[in-house]
Amino acid sequence: MKIAFIGTGVMGAPMAGHLARAGHDVIVYNRTRAKAAATGLAVADTPAAAAQGADAVVTCVGNDDDLAAVTLGTDGAFAAMRDDAVFIDHTTVSASIAQRLAEERALSVDAPVSGGQAGAEKGALSIMCGGSDAALAKARPVMEAYAARIVHVGAAGAGQQTKMVNQICIAGVLQGLSEALRFAQASALDLDKVYEAISGGAAQSWQMVNRWPTMAKDEFDFGFAIDWMRKDLGLALDEAKRNGAVLSGTALVDQFYAEVQKMGGGRQDTSALVRRLPR
């Protein structure tokens, strides 16, 4: 299968690599050409050039504006795509732009991912999808190269709304984990023993297993950046204004993250939320 992959950052580059190793003919495009070249794959000069003749076009860029630029903008991919080609977007963006792109191209799938850079490198991402059955049927063989789980949630935009659910959950869990860690420290408890005791019970979570040890050591220079988390929470809060959901806790944690940004932690992992709490 000939596949165009647009956006070769920390997530996109390993995903494109998995596609190449699966035997697909992959051409890549990135706004910063050096990042595209670093993949070792064929490099296109524009999104349109990458999309020319492709069976599938995959994007993994930064935000709504970036996505609109590489699909609908000057030299955008959509104008060059074959009618029977499928479009797959892995960017975390608004549901509204996902729906807009699906109106432009029926064979479109909004497919944000969970699992982070490690999941992308291992080819073990969880992918939540919105789009038609026909679009998913064409997209699934592509995504299987880097996914551990692919779930078709609903119509166009449903994938993005599900990613918002994911980020709402993470925000709440990390606030609770931060408070729990500081409580344990204030009680002069052995943090390793506390972790051993609670990580096998009802309090256990992915965040606890993967972040408690590093939070305890004040290690945050890795993982999913707070700047990106605030972008994602902003999308969820905006969507809540449209659908009427009450996200009071999420709005509060979003402001807590703003405090950590002011402390210089914007590029640190989301677990750096604990930094705003005194020891």
Q: What is the pLDDT of residues 200-235, one digit of tens each?
A: 999 999 999 999 999 999 999 999 999 999 999 999
Give per-residue pLDDT as tens, 72-110: 999 999 999 999 999 999 999 999 999 999 999 999 999
Look up residue 278 and give its amino acid.
Answer: P
pLDDT of res. 57: 98
User: How far is residue 76's CA from residue 244's CA, in Å, rounded to a whole number?
Assistant: 34
Print the domain residue range for 265: 161-276
pLDDT of res. 153: 98
Q: Which of 136, 155, 174 is the endpoint of a domain? A: 155
Look up residue 275 and give its amino acid.
Answer: R
Q: Is the dihedral of CA 273, 276, 277, 279 positive or negative?
A: positive
User: How does DSSP classify residue 125?
Assistant: E
> What confidence tier does 251 reach under pLDDT thresholds 50, 70, 90?
very high
217 belongs to the catalytic site: no
> What confidence tier does 136 reach under pLDDT thresholds 50, 70, 90?
very high
Looking at the fold, whether 124 and 234 belong to one and the same domain comes out as no
Query: What is the CATH classification number for the domain harbouring 46?
Result: 3.40.50.720
Looking at the fold, whether 60 and 121 belong to one and the same domain comes out as yes
Looking at the fold, whether 140 and 16 belong to one and the same domain comes out as yes
Which of 2, 138, 163, 217 is catalytic? The answer is: 163
Looking at the fold, whether 73 and 148 belong to one and the same domain comes out as yes
Look up residue 216 and give its amino acid.
Answer: A
> What confidence tier does 146 reach under pLDDT thresholds 50, 70, 90?
very high
Query: What is the CATH classification number for the domain harbouring 225?
Result: 1.10.1040.10
Q: Counting every residue, how long is the chain?
A: 279
pLDDT of res. 147: 98
Q: Which of 121, 155, 189 is the endpoint of a domain? A: 155
Q: What is the 3-state secondary structure (H, E, C) of 57-82?
A: EEECCCCHHHHHHHHHCCCCCHHHCC
User: How far is residue 180's CA from residue 249's CA, in Å, rounded to a whole number?
Assistant: 17
pLDDT of res. 65: 98
> What confidence tier does 191 reach under pLDDT thresholds 50, 70, 90?
very high
The two tokens of residue 15 are 């995903």
pLDDT of res. 107: 98
Looking at the DSSP assignment, which residues form a beta bridge with residue 129? Answer: 152
- 237 neighbors 155 (Cβ within 8 angstroms): no
Q: What is the mean pLDDT of the chain?
A: 98
Give per-residue pLDDT as tens, 30-82: 999 999 999 999 999 999 999 999 999 999 999 999 999 999 999 999 999 99
Taking residues 265-271, report their average pLDDT.
Answer: 98
Question: How many domains would you assign to the chain?
Answer: 2
Residues contacting 200, CB < 8 A, separation 6+: none
Q: At what angle do helices 191-198 and 158-186 cross, to 10 degrees?
A: 130
